[in-house]
Structure 1
Amino acid sequence: MRELPVLLLLIAVTAGPATAAESLLVENAYKNISLSGYTRSIIHQTISSEVSGKVLQVNYDIGQVIGEKPIIQIDPTFVTFEIETTRHAIRRLNIALKKSASREDFLKKEFDRFDALYKGKSTAQSRRDAALEEYSQATLESETISVEKSAQETRLMELMERKRRHTISAPNGWIVTGKHVEVGEIIAPDTPLAVVGDYRQLVVPLSVSANELIALQQLPEEFTATLDKEPVRAAINWINPEFDEQTRKLAIEVIIRNFHGEGRGGRFFSLALQVLTEGLRIPKTAVINRYDNPRVRIKATDEEISVLVLGESNDHVIVADSPRLKPGLELAGRP
């Protein structure tokens, strides 16, 4: 029974010097905050028409996911008529080109025959020159038809592209969030028809102070936050360097890397941060508080400095900034 007090005495002697050896340092003050915001789609677009016409089909309603079908179909009747007319014109030019080529071959043979007779002094030069002129005119006519055919083919491509734009599509997997037109309406170019967004990835716009941004940038590239109180992985998507002089904050966007549940706007995002704040953090054991006059003593010089206590947390107090107190300065304990 006499061994127990000896054991307790050994423990007390061992623990004492370790506590005394702890340094009492001035530190920067931090506060715990929570950055919060609400989700939205990573991208959204307003769908507009480049052509005029009557709306034949609206294949999706608000909230529906876009699949293979186009979102809106505009009546292409008149441009289809123009396409058929142009194709007929090209066919006529092909026929004319064949006729011109046949005539050109015939006149070339005629010219060669008269040229041989002229060289044999069996015909007059005027007859040879007339054959040459007819052949030259036939060649020019073939070239004219070829140019006209090329122009009609270019017009056909233009009309085909115009017809393609009567079918208005949006990316697969996006969701319709706004619909501004119904079947049967006549629309003009640049008319907004619908709004779509990609909710497969969610982002959260935030407005942060300079200290909050510094704390964010000190986090890993991917950090843990909460979405509707469930843990998620997130990262900074972009930082807008433009400073808002009214709020004195910067706009940033956080992208959520993985999430469970609905892909939609309005889900609550929260991120806990420790942010540098005004004042200094000092251990309570370094504060001499006699007669309501709190002071600290610098260990190296034994000089006492008055401090203004702003608050406290656990075993530390927060004091106002002082030019004589710097982070890292070692203080003496209370006598």
Structure 2
Amino acid sequence: MQINFAILLICFQFVWAQSTHAESNELWAVAESATHEISIVGFTRAHATIPLATEVAGKVKEIFADIGESIPEHGKLACLDDVFVQFDIQAASNQIAQHTNQMSYYQKEVSRHEQLVAKQSAAVNVLDNLTRELVNSQREMQAAHISKQRFDELKRRHCIKAPIGWLVIDRAIEIGQWIREGEVVAHIGDYSKLIVPLMLTEHELAALKQKGRFDVLLTEHHLKVPAVIEHISPEFDENTRKILVELAIQDQLPEYRGGIRVELTLAIPSEDHVFSISEKALDQRYEEYWLQSKDGKSIRVNLLGEQKDGKVKINSPEIKLGDQFRLNRK
């Protein structure tokens, strides 16, 4: 009797272990939020562009960069004829030299008359006049230095300066041409980093922010390159209800110019009650599709289409995000 009881106990433990092992090995599929991909196309532009204008009027003497060329190391696009400014600088230098001689003379005379007045060998009013002339010479010397500084600065402004390495987009001057003060003579751009402006909806912008680091496709070159969000405008377009977003691309580019076609792919969440799940969880009966939940309930779903990685898109109002369904062992 005791032996029969022991045998029954062993059999019970074996059956229980087998059922537990089978249950632990049961595979489940999780209902995930379904997405659909959209492609948004934009074109590259310079990271920054600025107009260049002359600060003085004059005749163009030299041009250092043509359209499409970079600004040289000295940071100048062009220079105007400055011969008359050079004459003014020479005149100011001569005045400085003249006032230097006058100051030296009056300093000696003042020093000599101070000794004579101390010995009562000269009148005090003569010393006062000499002191006044010395002070006037010092003031005139200061004015001459200021005049020379002004002419030096005016000479520097006869050259149209620009950031080193920027590219000339357009140019409206030629050598020998007369240009007016304040006239825009060229536009230049910084193409060391390219900007791709895009107009996005709120959902598209949210999907872009969730991507973190992402790549964009240069369709003309069949090349993917990394991109980052450079700016997000706080305003929106009243007609399209979209927001201006600027992407920046800098590395791994085959060329740096405007007009390169760029394609951004975003995964946008689908509408309510649309989910993504493993195709192996579906049980097809005739032309209908079913899922079996953990509690054994069969739920009829609508098959909307196939997705990547062996998943399908389904629709059912009875399913919630995160629900688990049994995988079919096929």
Checking the alignment, whether the CA contact within 8 Å between 1:76 and 1:163 is kept in structure 2 is: yes
Q: Distance in 2 between matches of 1:189 and 1:260?
A: 39
Moved over 4 A (4+): 16-20, 282-292, 294-304, 329-334
Question: In the TM superposition, what is the alpha-carbon distance from 1:223 to its structure 2 partner?
Answer: 2.7
Give the counterpart of 1:241 among 234, 241, 249.
234
Q: Which amino acid aligns with 2:113?
A: L
Percent identity between matched residues is 28
Q: Which amino acid aligns with 1:78?
A: F
Distance 1:147 1:274, change over 3 A: same
Question: In the TM superposition, what is the alpha-carbon distance from 1:290 to its structure 2 partner?
Answer: 9.9
Q: Which amino acid aligns with 1:229?
A: H
Checking the alignment, whether the CA contact within 8 Å between 1:286 and 1:331 is kept in structure 2 is: no
Matches within 5 A, 1:291-306: none
Distance 1:287 1:195, change over 3 A: farther
Which deviates more, 160-169 or 233-242?
A: 233-242
1:34 aligned to 2:27? no
Question: In the TM superposition, what is the alpha-carbon distance from 1:20 to its structure 2 partner?
Answer: 6.0
**Structure 2, gaps ≥5 residues long:** 1-18
1:255 aligned to 2:248? yes
Give the counterpart of 1:277 among 270, 278, 284.
270
Question: In the TM superposition, what is the alpha-carbon distance from 1:275 to its structure 2 partner?
Answer: 1.9
Q: Distance in 1 between matches of 2:50 and 2:167?
A: 11
Match of 1:112 in 2: 118
Give the counterpart of 2:321 among 321, 327, 331.
327
Match of 1:10 in 2: none
Q: Which amino acid aligns with 1:204?
A: V
Give the counterpart of 1:155 among 141, 147, 155.
147
1:52 aligned to 2:57? yes
1:180 aligned to 2:186? no
Q: Distance in 2 between matches of 1:93 and 1:35?
A: 72
Q: Which amino acid aligns with 1:316?
A: V
Distance 1:277 1:76, change over 3 A: farther
SS in 1 for 2:111: helix
Match of 1:9 in 2: none
SS in 1 for 2:140: helix
1:225 aligned to 2:216? yes
Question: In the TM superposition, what is the alpha-carbon distance from 1:286 to its structure 2 partner?
Answer: 6.8
Question: In the TM superposition, what is the alpha-carbon distance from 1:60 to its structure 2 partner?
Answer: 2.2
Number of residue pairs matched by the alignment: 299
Question: In the TM superposition, what is the alpha-carbon distance from 1:173 to its structure 2 partner?
Answer: 2.2
Checking the alignment, whether the CA contact within 8 Å between 2:64 and 2:72 is kept in structure 1 is: no
Matches within 5 A, 1:202-217: 202-217=194-209
SS in 1 for 2:250: strand
Matches within 5 A, 1:134-149: 134-149=126-141
Q: Distance in 2 between matches of 1:61 and 1:156?
A: 33
SS in 1 for 2:102: helix
Match of 1:124 in 2: none
- Please give the per-residue CA displacement for 1:253-289, whole angstroms capped at 9, x wherever unaligned: 2121312422111112223221223232155767999
Match of 1:317 in 2: 313
Q: Distance in 2 between matches of 1:316 and 1:333?
A: 13
Instruction: Give the TM-score normalised by the residue count of structure 1.
Output: 0.76
Q: Distance in 1 between matches of 2:136 and 2:320?
A: 90
Instruction: Give the TM-score normalised by the residue count of structure 2.
Output: 0.77
- Root-mean-square deviation (Å): 3.4
Match of 2:185 in 1: 193
- Please give the per-residue CA displacement for 1:145-180, whole angstroms capped at 9, x wherever unaligned: 111211221121111011101112323322211011
Q: Which amino acid aligns with 1:266?
A: G
Q: Distance in 1 between matches of 2:102 and 2:320?
A: 95
Q: Distance in 2 between matches of 1:310 and 1:46?
A: 58
Question: In the TM superposition, what is the alpha-carbon distance from 1:141 to its structure 2 partner?
Answer: 1.9
Match of 2:69 in 1: 64
SS in 1 for 2:246: strand
Q: Distance in 1 between matches of 2:285 and 2:55?
A: 77
Q: Distance in 2 between matches of 1:213 and 1:242?
A: 13
Q: Distance in 2 between matches of 1:290 and 1:332?
A: 19
